[in-house]
Amino acid sequence: MSCYVTHLESAIDGSFLAANTLQTMHKDRPLWVRYDLPAIANVVSPEDLAGRASSLWRYRELLPLPLDQAPVSLGEGMSPLLPADNLGQSLGLDQFWIKDESQLPTGSFKSRGLAMAVSMANYFGIKRLAIPTAGNAGGAMAAYAARAGIEAFVFMPKDTPIINQMECVMAGAHVFLVDGLITDCGKIVRGGLDEMKWFDCSTLKEPYRIEGKKTMGLELAEQLNWQLPDVIVYPTGGGTGLIGMWKAFHELRELGWLTSDNMPKMVSVQSDGCAPIVRAFDAGARFAAPWDHAHTCASGLRVPAAVGDFMILDAIHESGGWAVAVPEGNIISAMHRATAMEGISVCPEAAACVLAIEQLLANGQITRQDRVVMFNTGTANKYIEIAHLDLPVLSDPTNIDYSTLVG
């Protein structure tokens, strides 16, 4: 391939696999994409990026799509890194930012991974894709597959938010609701591989979604002038984003682009209704046992078993970070609080991060002086089912007692 990829590497045992052919996993575990970083350092520098389009594709040398191939794109730009002073001060932080992924084309960070996965599938000539999804990944896959002219099959739990269902249908995907969890949807996809001849786009079942997600880390480093924050707080279901960012930071350090050797502490956040990574972290285990009876209003966190569990836990331990479970019953109120304080459309997964920051501060694991970045992984507008509103009705608009409007 006309790019800087040298090979694929098994995350479980370090085996090398060829990069110029379609690959899935090795020993049922994910693959890393590896690059010729010294060669990249010779042809591009941080200064060179300044004149490039404000897009995840600005980091093209660090991405797997051959340089002579056009990406499958919906105009995915760099997501903004927004100072969140109001919320930060209320939490007890002097330097706090929210990286707002809700402004990507399909309303969530899933645009990154699926833009890359579908671009690579298109490059390899794949004609049919399938994905199990808790919601946002299915919508992103359907949209990018439509853009590429690839047939898409989406399997989602029957209680997936209706807007996620609708966006998949509107993008022309074959959409099926499943009486079960995302793991049950995954079994359907795997079971149809031979008969349906589709390619499985599940989280970490192919090596390229992680490369799209790692652009969150590349952007964050650039937006902070190549000095990483002290702490990154990230909602974790399948964990591709956390893994991808940790990979990006190591690549940047090897390239010599970072102005400091300090690496951020990575914090994985889950709901106590589905917290397999937290349970494994607390037990000192490298692998996470499946979580029984998983439930949470933050559908992106409802992943009872992650194929990249050991990769998530490795990144947390290597960074000196933590895995934190927050009370499920407090997520919606934290969502309202954060959105009202900052005007950012905070999703329930990010609201869980707000609760985690409170815990970390109370426990002394982070301090007021730490530079903290939280990721808002999607827009709140996709979660209308959890918006239980009881709004006052003005029955006589010609006779308003304005003194009663505030209180």
Q: Going residue by residue through the chain, which has 407 residues, state the pLDDT in tens, using 9 for 90 and above.
A: 589 999 999 999 999 999 999 999 999 999 999 999 999 999 999 999 999 999 999 999 999 999 999 999 999 999 999 999 999 999 999 999 999 999 999 999 999 999 999 999 999 999 999 999 988 999 999 999 999 999 999 999 999 989 999 999 999 999 999 999 999 999 999 999 999 999 999 999 999 999 999 999 999 999 999 999 999 999 999 999 999 999 999 999 999 999 998 999 999 999 999 999 999 999 999 999 999 999 999 999 999 999 999 999 999 999 999 999 999 999 999 999 999 999 999 999 999 999 999 999 999 999 999 999 999 999 999 998 888 888 889 999 999 999 989 86
**Alpha-carbon separation of residue 143 from 51, 100, 102, 139, 238 (angstroms):** 29, 20, 16, 6, 20
Q: What is the domain class of 81-107+209-381 according to CATH?
A: alpha beta
**Alpha-carbon separation of residue 391 from 199, 335, 349, 402 (angstroms):** 46, 18, 25, 16
Cα–Cα distance between 129 and 132 in angstroms, integer?
Answer: 11
Listed by start position, the domains of the chain span 81-107+209-381
* Interaxial angle between packed helices 331-342 and 348-362, expressed in degrees from 0 to 180 and rounded to the nearest 10: 90
Three-state secondary-structure class, residue 360: helix
Quick check: pTM over 0.85? yes
226: left (phi over 0), alpha (psi -120 to 50) or beta: left
